[in-house]
Amino acid sequence: RKHGVEYYLNDNGKGDFYILTNQDAKNFKVMLSPVENRDPSQWTTWVDHNPQIYIESLRSFKDYVVLHERQDGLQHLR
């Protein structure tokens, strides 16, 4: 844990976590990590940081992932 760094985990049901984090990403980014891997240096970027788009939340389903984003004040799902 680091002061000011937020992490939100979503289990994809296939042995991986999607991790929504603001570490080195003011508007958040999504990382992917196997469940057994607790070392952040080994996480892979799944959705990179975009200074134009704020990722508000992430929801994983059996075969899909939905991102709730905000761009230019407007909300949308991706």
> Tell me: the pLDDT tens digits for 5-14?
999 999 888 8
Residue 46 scores a pLDDT above 80: yes
Q: Quick check: 30 and 43 in contact, CB under 8 A?
A: no
List, as one string, the DSSP characters of 9-71: EEE-SSSEEEEEE-TT-TT-EEEEEETT---GGG-EEEE--BTTEEEEEEEE-SS-EEEEEEE
Q: Is the pTM of this model over 0.85?
A: yes
